[in-house]
Amino acid sequence: MNITVVGSINLDLVASAPSLPAAGETVTGATLARHPGGKGANQALAAEKLGAEVCLIGRVGDDAMAGEALALLEEFGVDLSGVETDIAAPTAVALIAVDPSGENQIVVAAGANHLATPEQLPARIETALVVQLELPIATVEAAVGRATGFVCANLAPAAPVSEQLLRRADLIVVNEVEAAFYGEILHHGGGRVVVTQGARGAEMYHRGVKVAWATPPAIVAVDATGAGDAFVGAITVALLEGMEPADALRFACAAGAVAATRAGAQPSLPTRAEVEALLAV
């Protein structure tokens, strides 16, 4: 299957700390790691590793961080012909604090991501499409408007979007906080809506009616960064393959669970064999 992802590309700076800071608090004793990230790049790599042929459209700066941010995408064969280099802004950076239980706090400096414009998009997107909201909303909406096939909209981070986007999406994925932000308007379109609930699993709705649910396999969480993006990539692949809703949710929950057992966003994303092995336990 062929998927186009229009989305963000970041370099993640991850501080693994004894605890997450409260407002105004300084926490010491952390260790620092650098990983490729960004919701768009993460979801593109997740889908590629699970069996799709993926093209990523995004933007990076003309700097050394761009090479780091794109390294794993290149290694696993994601098509980067749609990634443009911007001389006016740096590659985006995410500052991530992670505690021993895997919970995290994230601050993103959007950099070149916020300079991605509709002019960067093809006139028609004839593959399946995955979008998130870490690019300018006008660019996201333009991508959805040019799509001719299946559209997955991961409405994260939560931000106002048009009713046309909500109605056009065949699949909307949100977490509980994002679902509360949007409210009932999520269910006004004809597509499916998936609400993720972290370690408690996920639920799928159609026109406001719950049609499927699943819980993830038991794992020891190390870092939740990237688990949600693994879920989005996996649920898109599963539904495009024709899996029934409950099976697709179980597959996606398992992908997110594998990702949570490893540090970093893209380094944690699972292969198809790893997801199937966890489901078989």
17 within 8 A of 97, measured Cβ to Cβ = yes
Q: Determine whether 229 is an active site residue.
A: yes
| CA gap 119, 146 in Å, rounded | 12
55 within 8 A of 4, measured Cβ to Cβ = yes
DSSP per-residue codes, 201-265: -EEEEETTEEEEEE-PPP---S--TTHHHHHHHHHHHHHHTT--HHHHHHHHHHHHHHHHTSSSS
Phi/psi at 235 (5° precision): -65, -35
CA 54 to the chain's CA centroid: 14
Phi/psi at 39 (5° precision): -55, -45
82 within 8 A of 70, measured Cβ to Cβ = no
| CA gap 206, 191 in Å, rounded | 7
Contacts of 46 (CB under 8 A, 6+ apart): 229, 230, 232, 233, 234, 255, 269, 270
32 forms bridges with which residues in the sheet?
Answer: 15
Q: Which of 12, 63, 86, 229 is catalytic?
A: 229
Contacts of 244 (CB under 8 A, 6+ apart): 212
Residues catalogued as catalytic: 229
